[in-house]
Copies of this chain bind each other. A is one copy, B any other.
Amino acid sequence: MPDQAAAMQNRGMVARPALWRRVVALAVLAGAAALWAATSAMASPVTHSTLDNGLDVVVIEDRRAPVVVHMVWYRVGAADEPPLKSGIAHFLEHLMFKGTDSMAPGEFSAVVEANGGRDNAFTSWDYTGYFQRVASDRLELMMQMEADRMANLSFTEAEWLPERAVILEERGQVLESQVGRQFNESIMAALYKSHPYGIPIIGWRHEMETLTGADAMDFYRQHYGPNNAILVIAGDVAADEVLEKAQRIYGPIDPNPDVTRTARPAEPPHLAERRLVFEDPRVGTPYVSRMYKAPVRRAGDQQEAAALQMLAALLGGSSTSVLERRLNFEEGIALSAWAGYSGLARDYGTFSLGIAPVDGVSLPEAEAALDRVVAEFLEEGVDPDQFARVQRQIRASEIYALDDVQGRARQYGVGLSVGLGVADIDGWIDALDAVTPEQVIAAGQMLLDRRASVTGYLTTPPADDVEEEVSQ
């Protein structure tokens, strides 16, 4: 079972928390996209404008507390890395805290902390984001520091060399020491033949070991700049004042003429179902994880994605959803069974299914049961009561989501980073509301074609894996 709950914890420290924590958190967020985006319908409107230098500015007013979240998102991530340089986007994220021509290494986070704030950063395949949460009267200081490092990053070998050890240690701690994440890394590598979503965001260790500060600076010079960035400011602010500040502080930064969208390899047709078996003595609970390549939310065209999101909610969104109800409560086969959809990406989304069987049920038996229940669901159609309940849950979640200004800010940052517009973010709830049971079943037919999928077994090595006596 993915330990997503644990990954949602926040360490509450000033230093950037682990990359993978952020990534997994985002996956959960995508799964619960309904929650975050729901706010837009009831909250004060979102302002979106673009400065002359290309910087997108999104302002979300939320006056309930004298706090502001300040985020800069770059439309570049691990899927834009050059060959042999996997991990460079994330390495650069770390080095962005090393100082500028006018800031000393570490000064950025120290200033945030001294002002009672928190800062953080995150790297994904499609974007790299930086944020601070501070008292609203400190916003301008944050903007000045962030604008500074947008154009004036500077570091020496004495600074980047130890940071490379830090990211290697991070890979060890948050990935290699956690067998479920290694398993997931293997599944993603098997899912994509050409596209860089098959390469782990944090990088392959043997390539990370060769990264240099010059590589990071090359990546910075090619991809960072106001014309490849989104500024999101949410909280106790007035939109016109924020725009004035943005114009004054970020406006003078020249667009970076080297910014181009990286051309990424597309996937060839997927003709054969793939499977993998990951055996490791550390495995506590064996489980089956299936990942399908799936459509993403597209600007102006989110209906198929919305149907997949509803499908995920119906199949596996809660303890009353189809997989849990059938496989856990009724048949007693599963400790847990789940479904998820991740559609907030530039190129490809994923739909996932999984089952952790009870003792005495093998992984092949569990997988067969999972497939049977999914097929029955697609044949029998959606239960109207459950469908209505899921839709009610989504609407109810709007109230909850209004409370999370940081989550709202993040939603716009991610959305704009992957090519959606504000209207797509704002329209997501309507898209979900418009989904019909028939569309859910139609979208779910993709689950019957496993050619674009990888099925992984995470399990312990066989106990009888010992030398047999030689008979000769």
Q: Closest CB-CB distance, A472 to chain B, in whole Å?
A: 5
A472–B380 touching, CB < 8 Å: yes
Inter-subunit contact B276/A272 (CB<8 Å):
yes
* Interchain CB contact (< 8 A) of A471 among B207, B263, B380, B456: B380
Docked CA distance A86–B380 (Å): 44
Q: Report B-chain residues with C-beta under 8 Å of the C-beta of A268.
A: 189, 204-206
B182 to A84, Cβ gap below 8 A? no
Number of copies: 2
CB contacts (< 8 Å) of A207 on chain B: these are 265-266
Given contacts A84-B265, A199-B194, A265-B84, contact A276 B275 (CB under 8 A): yes
Interface string of A189-213 (1 = CB under 8 A from B): 1100110001100001111000000
Return chain B residues, CB-CB under 8 Å to A471: 379-380
Does the CB pair B277–A273 fall under 8 Å? Answer: yes
Choice from B199, B204, B278 contacting A272 with Cβ under 8 Å: B278
Instruction: Verify if A381 is at the interface (C-beta below 8 Å from B).
Output: yes
Interchain CA distance A183-B84 in the complex, whole Å: 28
A164 to chain B, nearest CB (A): 17
Let me know if A189 and B183 touch, CB within 8 A: no
Task: Flag whether A300 is at the interface (Cβ < 8 A).
Answer: no
A83 at the interface (CB under 8 A from B): yes
Q: What residues of B have a CB within 8 angstroms of the CB of A472 in the complex?
A: 379-381
Q: With A and B bound together, what is the CA distance between A86 and B456 in angstroms?
A: 29
Q: How far is the CB of A89 from chain B (nearest CB, A)?
A: 16
Within the complex, the shortest CB–CB distance from A177 to chain B, in Å, comes to 13
A246 vs B54: C-alpha distance when bound (angstroms) = 59
- CB of A470 closer than 8 Å to a CB of B: yes
Give the contacts of A294-309 with B (CB-CB under 8 A).
Answer: none
Kindly list chain B residues whose C-beta atoms are within 8 Å of the C-beta of A470: 379-381
Say whether A274 faces chain B, with CB atoms less than 8 Å apart.
yes
Smallest CB-CB separation from A200: which chain B residue? B268
Which B residues touch A83, using CB under 8 A? 83, 263, 265
Within 8 Å CB of A194, what residues of B? Answer: 86, 199, 204
User: A274 touching B199 by the CB < 8 A rule?
Assistant: no
Interface string of A256-274 (1 = CB under 8 A from B): 0000000111101001111
In the docked arrangement, what's the CA distance between A278 and B275, Å? Answer: 11
Contact A182/B271 with A84-B265, A207-B265, A266-B206 known, Cβ cut-off 8 Å = yes
Nearest 5 pairs of A and B residues by beta carbon? A275-B275, A272-B278, A204-B268, A186-B272, A189-B193
What are 14 pairs between A and B in contact, CB < 8 Å?
A83-B83, A84-B263, A86-B194, A182-B271, A189-B268, A193-B198, A194-B204, A207-B266, A272-B276, A272-B456, A273-B276, A273-B277, A274-B275, A381-B470
